[in-house]
Amino acid sequence: MRLVHGPAEPSELPPHHQLVVELRALRKVGLSRVRQISHPGLAAAASAAGLPTGPEEPAAGIERLLRSAVHWLDGAVPPPGGHLIPDAPAAGPVGELARAAAHSFGLVGAASQIAGERRKAAAAVFGVTTESFRHRQERQVIDRLADAVLGLAGAGAPPEGNPLPQATPSDVPHAVARMTGPPVHYDTAPGAVPAHPDIQVHLSPIELLRDVDVLVSSENTYLEMSKIFRNTVSGALRRAAAARDETNAVIDDPLARELRDWMARHGRSGLQVPPGTVVPTGPGALARRGVRRVLHAAVAVPRRTSNGYEACESTVVEAVSAAFRVAVGERDAHEPPLSSLCFPVLGAGRGGLQPERAARWLRWAVEEELRADPRWTVHLVTRTPALIPVLRGTERG
């Protein structure tokens, strides 16, 4: 791993849309021909990340930047409080999004210099045709890769005595791009992190809350809800939202049905979505409790070698950020406007994250979003009493 020097000020970082344009151009020619095109935004981002960009080695810096960005898409982030650009693992990326990016830019083995062959290999990752990939998944790959590049460009340590300014949503589209991580613990002593006035914590099943506009459900990356009888957040919300007849038999399963419809509309039926994806549905019967929307966050990635799942901290942060973006996009479509969201402890169930760690990252991610948009009231809910101090921000180390 390579130590990164202080980052450029946010005003020096290229905008997201510029990186998208440059990445599209670079994908066409391939990384081996990086010197044939202009890439001032990528060069600036590499320089901000402390990578070589001089006249003799621009390709080396940009290739290292892209390999690190692909590594980030695979779920790796600089460690909390650290300022390191990770080396890409020798085994190569595992996740669909990261593998498709690696194929698209010629980062895998003896990659072809022909753009069409690289696109075909990337499309095969998702099991779709090259034409379908070009119109759908490729755009998402490049968009998310640009996010990761910005994240790496902003991951260095600020100069001593000169704290790095807070990034704005237009500077960094996703919270993962400004990830420095939560503190190891909170404390109620003077000078410690105070409890946030717009965060309320509940010891309760999420489906029993009332008059919260938006509930967030934790799902797997296939957006398949838990069985309706399961004792999980997903299963509980599915059960509470179901329509029933006079014998209490389920006659409509609206949350699962709307998710299947969304997957079909987006050409993802039977396929995974990127970790951190958030999809909205109606509330079904939860409307009787004052719920107006349910957001489904894909945080649990199925393991290849077992029947279990795994989640990582960066996905929790991505999901929180995406949930806020979706809620903001829908806010004014309702009367009165949406104003409150409720998060369970994402990733701590079947996702496999250690519960206290998942709760700490959730609390931190929510605080980050509320700094950027304080219009919301956020509810954090758990059925585990030991997590209450962590979620309240009053945990003692």
pLDDT tens string, the chain, 397 residues long: the values are 333 333 344 446 788 888 888 888 888 887 767 766 777 888 888 878 777 655 555 567 788 888 888 877 765 544 333 333 444 444 455 567 788 888 888 887 655 668 888 888 888 887 778 887 887 788 878 888 888 888 777 643 333 333 322 322 233 333 333 334 554 433 333 333 445 668 999 999 999 999 999 999 999 999 999 999 888 999 999 999 999 999 989 999 999 999 999 999 999 998 999 999 999 999 999 999 999 999 999 999 988 766 788 888 889 999 999 999 999 999 999 999 999 999 999 999 777 788 999 999 999 999 999 998 999 999 999 999 999 999 998 765 4
pLDDT of residue 67: 83
Q: What distance in Å separates the CA atoms of residue 295 and residue 260, rounded to the nearest whole number?
A: 14
pLDDT of residue 196: 64
CATH of domain 199-392: 3.40.220.10
Pairing of strands 250-252, 243-244: antiparallel
The sign one gets for the Cα dihedral 305, 309, 310, 314 is positive
Instruction: Specify the pLDDT at position 273.
Output: 92
Crossing angle between the packed helical segments 58-73 and 137-153, to the nearest 10 degrees:
110
Number of residues in the chain: 397
In 3D space, the residue among 137, 178, 163, 174 whose CA is nearest the CA of residue 274 turns out to be: 137
Residue 174, both tokens:
């996703």
Which pair of tokens denotes residue 32? Answer: 């081996």
Question: The pTM is what?
Answer: 0.55
Burial 251-276 (b: 16+ CB within 10 A, else e): eebbbbebbeebbeeeebeebbbbbb
Measured distance CA(375)–CA(30) in Å, rounded = 44
In the chain, where the domains are located = 2-169, 199-392
Task: Please state, in angstroms and rounded to a whole number, the distance separating the CA atoms of residues 68 and 80.
Answer: 17
Q: What pLDDT is stored for residue 156 in this prediction?
A: 38
The pLDDT value recorded for residue 10 is 41
Pairwise CA distance, residues 315 & 323, whole Å? 12
Q: What is the SS3 assignment for 240? A: helix
pLDDT score at 35 = 67
Amino acid 53: pLDDT: 57
